[in-house]
Structure 1
Amino acid sequence: MRTLLALARASHAAPTVVVTGLAVLLGVEAGLAAARVLLVGLAVLCGQLTIGWSNDLLDAGRDRAVGRTDKPLATGQLATRVVTAALAGAVVACAALSLALGWRAALAHLVVVAAGWAYNLGAKSTVLSWLPYVVAFGTLPAVPWLALSPPALPPWWMLAVGALLGAGAHVVNVLPDLAEDAVTGVRGLPHRLGARASGVLAVVVLLAGTATGVLGPGGAVPPWAWSVLLAAGALAVVSLGRPGRTPFYAAMAIAVVNVVVLLVRA
Structure 2
Amino acid sequence: MSISGVARGLALASHPGPTLAVTTFTALLAASAGHPLGRGALVTSAVLTGQLSIGWSNDLVDAARDRAVERSDKPIARGDLPARTVRVATGATLAACIVLSLACGVASAAVHLLLGVASGWAYNLYFKRTALSPVPYAVAFAALPAVVTLALPAPVWPPAWVMLTGALLGTGAHLLNALPDLADDEATGVRGLPHRLGAGVVRVLAPAVLLAGSVVAALGRGFDPPGVALLGVCVALAAVAVQGRGRVPFVAAVGIALANVVSLVVSQSS
Give the TM-score of the pair, scaled to structure 1. Answer: 0.96
Gaps of 5+ in 2: none
The one of 104, 108, 112 aligned to 1:105: 108
* Aligned residue in 2 for 1:175: 179
The 2-side partners of 1:132 and 1:96 are apart by 23
* Aligned residue in 1 for 2:267: 265
Letter in 2 for 1:173: N
Per the TM alignment, residue 261 of structure 1 is displaced from its structure 2 partner at its CA by: 1.4
* Aligned residue in 2 for 1:57: 60
Deviation digits for residues 134-158 of structure 1 (CA, Å, limit 9, x no counterpart)? 0000000001100112211111121
Where does structure 1 differ by over 3 angstroms across 4 or more consecutive aligned residues? 241-246
Report the secondary structure of 2:6's partner residue.
Answer: helix
The 2-side partners of 1:106 and 1:44 are apart by 10
Gaps of 5+ in 1: none
The 2-side partners of 1:253 and 1:32 are apart by 27
Percent sequence identity is 53
The one of 153, 156, 160 aligned to 1:156: 160
1:23 lines up with 2:21 in the alignment: no
Give the TM-score of the pair, scaled to structure 2. Answer: 0.94
1:96 lines up with 2:99 in the alignment: yes
1:181-196 correspondence to structure 2 within 5 Å: 181-196=185-200
The 1-side partners of 2:18 and 2:232 are apart by 27
The 2-side partners of 1:8 and 1:137 are apart by 23
Q: Judge which range, 239-248 or 19-28, deviates more.
A: 239-248
Asked whether the 8 Å contact 2:240–2:248 carries over to 1, the reply is no
Aligned Cα RMSD in Å?
1.3
Change beyond 3 A, Cα 1:13–1:239: closer
1:199 lines up with 2:216 in the alignment: no
The one of 10, 14, 29 aligned to 1:11: 14
* Aligned residue in 1 for 2:248: 246
1:237 lines up with 2:239 in the alignment: yes
The 1-side partners of 2:146 and 2:227 are apart by 23
The one of 36, 39, 47 aligned to 2:50: 47
Deviation digits for residues 114-172 of structure 1 (CA, Å, limit 9, x no counterpart)? 00000000100100000000000000000110011221111112111111100000000
Per the TM alignment, residue 213 of structure 1 is displaced from its structure 2 partner at its CA by: 1.6
Per the TM alignment, residue 16 of structure 1 is displaced from its structure 2 partner at its CA by: 0.7
* Aligned residue in 1 for 2:227: 225
Asked whether the 8 Å contact 1:214–1:265 carries over to 2, the reply is no
The 2-side partners of 1:12 and 1:238 are apart by 28
Report the secondary structure of 1:187's partner residue.
Answer: coil
